[in-house]
């Protein structure tokens, strides 16, 4: 990978540091530093919430939670709980609110916790990178990765580290297995595909990006879409794989990139969607656990890990594409246009 300019230096460092940061996070989880955590199966429902990136993380976590723990689970933006609490919350049921916030200071998330407590009297758990923040102080349980904190506005290593914290909450038994396999797979991924990410990002003949993911990976596709918008101010959209046929593919042509976050289940359906996009002259790229997609372009590795622990591997390559596109456009991905590190509301 060629050296980047001073613009984006922090973002680049934070993306590339993820193998080491994950290693630290996983050591913390294996050591038991996270302490006792709630039994998700004992609740009538589990609700995940956040804002922006952490809402997309919540979407990913909710799908895994419902599948693995057999408990009703959903994700909502914190603003929905803040403005319309009675439309979403069940006062007569035993619920757990999992509030996700990098800073633990986002006003909407703090007020969502207050609304949940007032209406349901339920339990709360915080997932954050700031264990001293107000959100952590208001939650009954806290899962934190302070070593992952970053200076850039756009979330990269904080997002994937909080994914690991959520995985511990939902499916804690596999953390020891992930401890060795996941950081090694991340290093190999960055080494092998870093130049490809740079080439795609710097190709300004490409003018729109489509990120496809189904099941839990839809939340990750949305996060990749957001990174492309935040860092590079580029047109980008996210869809469930087969939804792109229902209208959005009218915008797919030779200047479009379609990036598929492919899984093992549903692979035949996903592969056919990619093939359809190729007939429209789009540039297509597939990320899959074993590289067995239509073109086998990007093999994530760690295919022996359960999906909930393997899923963070989808993001470093996509983050790098957004980073290099921002630099190629003369933008500073460390400080995206109009954005602040924390969104705080007045009053």
Res 336: pLDDT = 75
Nearest to 322 by CA among 211, 242, 191: 211
Q: To the nearest whole percent, how much of the chain has pLDDT over 70?
A: 94
Q: How far apart are CA 100 and CA 84, in angstroms?
A: 19
Res 341: pLDDT = 59
Which residue is it, tokens 């952490």? Answer: 54
Q: Reduce the DSSP state of residue 96 to 3 states and report it.
A: strand
Would you say 139 and 167 are in contact if contact means Cβ atoms under 8 Å apart?
no
Q: What is the pLDDT of residues 111-158, one digit of tens each?
A: 999 999 999 999 999 999 999 999 999 999 999 999 999 999 899 999
DSSP symbol at 290: S
Give the mean pLDDT of the chain.
92
Across the chain, the runs of DSSP E, i.e. the strands, are 45-50, 72-77, 95-101, 123-128, 141-144, 208-213, 235-239, 256-261, 283-288, 298-299
The token pair at 291 is 């590289």
Q: How far apart are CA 145 and CA 125, in angstroms?
A: 14
Non-local CB neighbours of 92 within 8 Å, separated by 6+ positions: none
Which residue is it, tokens 């914290």? Answer: 165
SS3 content of the chain, % helix, strand, coil (to 5): 50, 15, 35
CB neighbourhood size of 133 (10 A): 21
The token pair at 62 is 């909710």
> How many CA atoms lie less than 13 Å away from 34 in the CB half-sphere?
27
Q: How far apart are CA 101 and CA 105, in angstroms?
A: 7
Res 2: pLDDT = 43
Q: How far apart are CA 131 and CA 142, in angstroms?
A: 7
Q: How far apart are CA 270 and CA 261, in angstroms?
A: 9
pTM across the whole model: 0.94
Phi, psi of 187 (to 5 degrees): -60, -45
In this structure, the strands spanning 45-50 and 95-101 are parallel
Q: What is the pLDDT of residues 291-321, one digit of tens each?
A: 765 555 899 998 889 999 999 999 999 999 9
| Residue 1 banded pLDDT, cuts 50, 70, 90 | very low
Res 221: pLDDT = 98
Res 43: pLDDT = 96
The radius of gyration computed from the CA coordinates of the chain, to the nearest angstrom, equals 19
Which residue is it, tokens 């999906």? Answer: 307
């Amino acid at each position: 990978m060629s050296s980047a300019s001073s613009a984006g230096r922090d973002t680049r460092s934070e993306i590339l540091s993820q193998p080491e940061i994950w290693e630290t996070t996983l050591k913390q989880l294996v050591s038991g530093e996270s302490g006792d955590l709630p039994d998700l199966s004992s609740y009538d429902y589990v609700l995940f919430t956040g804002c922006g990136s952490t809402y997309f993380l919540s979407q990913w976590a909710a799908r895994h939670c419902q599948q693995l723990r057999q408990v009703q689970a959903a994700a909502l933006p914190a603003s929905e709980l803040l403005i319309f609490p009675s439309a979403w919350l069940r006062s007569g049921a035993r619920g757990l609110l999992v509030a996700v916030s990098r800073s633990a200071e986002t006003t909407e998330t703090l007020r969502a916790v207050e609304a949940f407590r007032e209406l349901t009297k339920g339990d709360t758990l915080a997932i954050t990178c700031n264990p001293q923040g107000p959100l952590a102080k208001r939650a009954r349980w806290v899962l934190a990765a302070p070593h992952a904190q970053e200076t850039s506005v756009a979330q990269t290593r904080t997002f994937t580290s909080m994914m690991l914290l959520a995985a511990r909450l939902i499916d804690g038994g596999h953390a020891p297995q992930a401890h060795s396999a996941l950081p090694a797979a991340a290093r190999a991924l960055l080494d092998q595909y870093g130049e490809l990410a740079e080439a795609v990002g710097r190709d300004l003949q490409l003018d729109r990006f489509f990120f496809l993911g189904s099941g839990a990976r839809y939340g990750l596709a949305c996060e990749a879409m957001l990174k492309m918008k935040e860092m590079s101010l580029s047109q980008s959209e996210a869809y469930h794989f087969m939804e792109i046929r229902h209208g959005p593919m009218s915008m797919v042509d030779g200047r479009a990139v379609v990036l598929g976050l492919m899984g093992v289940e549903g692979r035949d359906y996903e592969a056919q969607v990619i093939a359809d996009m190729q007939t429209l002259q789009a540039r297509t790229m597939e990320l899959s656990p074993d590289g067995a997609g239509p073109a086998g372009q990007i093999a994530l590795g760690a295919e022996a890990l359960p999906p909930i622990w393997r899923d963070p591997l989808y993001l470093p390559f996509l983050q790098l594409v957004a980073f290099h596109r921002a630099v190629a456009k003369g933008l500073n991905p460390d400080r995206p246009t109009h954005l602040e590190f924390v969104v705080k509301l007045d009053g």
